């Protein structure tokens, strides 16, 4: 049993609660009666990495779809495997899931080499495949009950419905659900055996921005429950928003890997500060004399390269000192799309939906 204190978001009352690791408990505030949920994180021992991939290769005839890649996924993290269409993401994830056979290389799940010991871990992983479909004429609850039968280890289905926010559609037929809800049912299915590692292959492709956000919240819930999440995506915003660790795959090779901050520091070209409509057209020259790198200036609009955040304060104090007025100021930080473009010369996303 774990004991903790939570604060009511409404009246700020401190409420003591107890629960077991992995439990999501409904509580109501004794002072203002506001109802909410408290998640108790799973306490997973940290002895082995969740996933270890070394020298992994997959050839389809002459095509090298996955070209000797290596990476490690730590327990409890959201790992985003990011790459454009055809990069080798599904091939990689399905080799880790033991669905496709590698040409060469080693894969360990929770410390077990899957060539010899996949049986030891198969109950401890959950899978949402890229082309996910379920039974059209089963309700949500029947669907989860059906998949639950396939495993010895079972999670409480009511807890899954709570965590995935599916209680309101529990008795609806799968075929009657919207795309976003179907994806959420897909994630829910991957949890019926209470897995330690959850593989989600492009869980938000084809969803509208609202439904995509809802799936993102679900993924955050999985992390809060202590699960390791291996997320395959070609949406850089998804990786930026969710991932603790990102590996970018391109043409079967991992071309960059690290936290978002690592990638921006290593491959980004620093930030750019844009000043618009300055009333003093000499501002560019003034800043140049102060040693700033002016990238562009025209009619009082000016772009300045910023390598350290301290420089922003220096610029603001020069503007104040010179009594320069301006209409707007904004700072552009490099993002994953630009890093990908910089590394490959190609766009990461075909669309921006
Ligand atoms: N079973 C197969 N037989 C032959 N070639 C394949 C097979 N599966 C995938 N490929 C090829 O391997 C490459 C990688 O495909 P994969 O499906 O792993 O990419 P992906 O990154 O998941 O792409 P997407 O974002 O479109 O899902 C592609 O060129 C694809 O055409
Ligand atoms: Mg794929």
Q: Which atom of ligand 1 is nearest to the CA of 58?
A: 12
Strands 228-233 and 245-250: unpaired
Shortest-distance atom of ligand 1 to CA 100? 1
Of 41-50, 109-118, 245-254, least confident by mean pLDDT is 41-50
Ligand 1 centroid – CA 91 distance (Å): 6
Among protein residues, the one whose CA lies closest to atom 5 of ligand 1: 60
- Checking if the pLDDT of 353 tops 50, the result is no
Last residue of a domain, one of 242, 265, 288: 265
Three-state DSSP string of 133-168: CCCCCCEHHHHHHHHHHCCCCCCCHHHHHHHCCCHH
Residues 252 and 275 in one domain: no
Give yes or no: residues 78 and 163 share one domain: yes
pLDDT tier for residue 86 given thresholds of 50, 70 and 90 = very high
CA distance 128 to 248: 20
Report the separation in Å between the CA atom of 88 and the middle of ligand 1, taken as the mean of its atom positions: 6
Distance 94 CA to ligand 2 centre (A): 9
Whether residue 126 is found in the same domain as residue 244: yes
Q: Are residues 34 and 7 in the same domain?
A: yes
Query: Minimum-distance ligand to the CA of 82?
Result: 1
Alpha-carbon gap, residue 231 to 219, rounded angstroms: 9
The answer as to whether 350 is a domain residue is: no
Compute the distance between CA of residue 11 and CA of residue 143 in angstroms, rounded to an integer: 39
Same domain, 104 and 83: yes
Ligand nearest to the CA of 85: 1
Name the least confident of 32-41, 43-52, 59-68, 186-195: 43-52
Q: Do residue 132 and residue 145 come from a single domain?
A: yes
Closest to 249 (Cα-Cα) out of 72, 94, 77, 86: 86
Nearest CA to ligand 1 atom 16: 88
259: domain CATH number is 3.40.50.300
Count of domains forming the chain: 3
Is there a domain that residue 96 lies in?
Answer: yes
What is the 8-class DSSP label of residue 1? -
The reply to whether 342 falls in a domain is: no
Mutational test site, ligand 1, from 64, 82, 91, max ligand atoms within 8 Å of CB: 91
Q: Is residue 345 part of a domain?
A: no
Token pair of 340, please? 């990908």
- Please give the number of the atom of ligand 1 that sits closest to the Cα of 130: 27
Domain assignment present for residue 346? The answer is no
Within-domain flag for 131:
yes
pLDDT, tens digit, 9 for 90 and up, residues 153-177: 999 999 999 988 899 999 999 999 9
Pocket of ligand 1 (CB under 6 A): 60, 63, 65, 83, 85-91, 130, 234
Q: Is 336 helix (H, G, I), strand (E, B) or coil?
A: helix
Other C-beta atoms closer than 10 Å to the C-beta of 245 total: 19
- The last residue of one of the domains, among 265, 281, 304, is 265
Q: From the CA of 57, how far away is ligand 1's center (Å)? A: 13
Residues 211, 110: one domain? Answer: yes
* Predicted confidence (pLDDT) per residue in 336-348, tens digit: 888 888 888 777 6
Q: What is the pLDDT of residues 49-67, one digit of tens each?
A: 999 999 999 999 999 999 9
Q: Residue 115: which domain range?
A: 51-265
Q: Ligand 1 test: best mutation among 83, 89, 252, 346, most atoms within 8 Å of CB?
A: 89
| pTM over cut 0.85 | no
Is the same domain home to 144 and 290? no
Task: Say whether both 115 and 252 belong to one domain.
Answer: yes
CA gap 131, 191 in Å, rounded:
17
**For position 293, which CATH number holds?**
3.30.70.120
Centre of ligand 1 to C-alpha 202, Å, is 13
- Residues 235 and 302 occupy one common structural domain: no
Q: What pLDDT shows up at residue 334?
A: 84
348 within some domain? no
How many Å is the Cα radius of gyration of the chain? Answer: 24
* pLDDT at residue number 352: 39
| Statement to judge: residues 117 and 166 lie in one domain | yes
How many angstroms separate the alpha carbon of residue 265 from the centre of ligand 1?
31
Q: For atom 29 of ligand 1, which residue has the closest CA?
A: 86
């Amino acid at each position: 049993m774990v004991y903790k204190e939570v604060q009511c978001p409404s009246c700020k009352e401190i409420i003591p609660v107890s629960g077991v690791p992995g439990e999501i408990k409904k509580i109501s505030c004794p002072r203002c009666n506001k109802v909410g949920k408290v998640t108790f994180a799973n306490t997973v021992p940290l002895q082995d990495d969740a996933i270890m991939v070394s020298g992994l290769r997959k050839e389809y005839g002459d095509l090298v779809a996955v070209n000797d890649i290596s990476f490690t996924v730590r327990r409890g993290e959201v790992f985003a495997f990011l790459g454009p269409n055809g990069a080798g993401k599904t091939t990689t994830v399905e080799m880790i899931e033991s669905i496709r056979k590698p040409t060469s290389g080693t894969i360990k799940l929770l410390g077990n080499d899957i060539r010899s010991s996949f049986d030891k871990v198969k109950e401890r992983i959950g899978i949402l495949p890229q082309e996910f479909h379920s039974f059209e004429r089963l309700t949500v609850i029947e669907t989860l009950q059906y998949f639950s039968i396939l495993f010895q280890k079972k999670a409480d289905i009511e807890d899954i419905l709570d965590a995935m926010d599916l209680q309101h559609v529990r008795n609806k037929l799968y075929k009657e659900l919207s795309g976003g809800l179907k994806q959420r049912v897909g994630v829910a299915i991957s949890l019926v055996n209470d897995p330690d590692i959850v593989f989600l292959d492009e869980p938000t492709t084809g969803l509208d921005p609202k439904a995509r956000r809802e799936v993102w919240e679900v993924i955050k819930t999985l992390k809060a429950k202590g699960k390791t999440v291996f997320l395959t995506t070609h949406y850089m915003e998804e990786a930026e928003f969710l991932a603790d660790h990102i590996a970018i795959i391109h043409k079967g090779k991992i071309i960059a890997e690290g936290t978002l901050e690592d990638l921006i520091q290593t491959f980004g070209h620093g930030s750019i500060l844009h000043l618009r409509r300055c009333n003093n057209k000499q501002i560019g020259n003034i800043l140049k004399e102060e040693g700033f790198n002016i990238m562009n200036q025209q009619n009082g609009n000016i772009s300045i390269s910023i390598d350290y955040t301290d420089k922003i304060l220096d610029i603001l104090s020069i503007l104040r000192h010179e009594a320069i007025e301006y209409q707007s100021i904004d700072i552009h930080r490099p993002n994953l799309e630009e890093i990908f473009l910089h590394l490959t010369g190609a766009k990461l996303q075909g669309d921006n939906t």
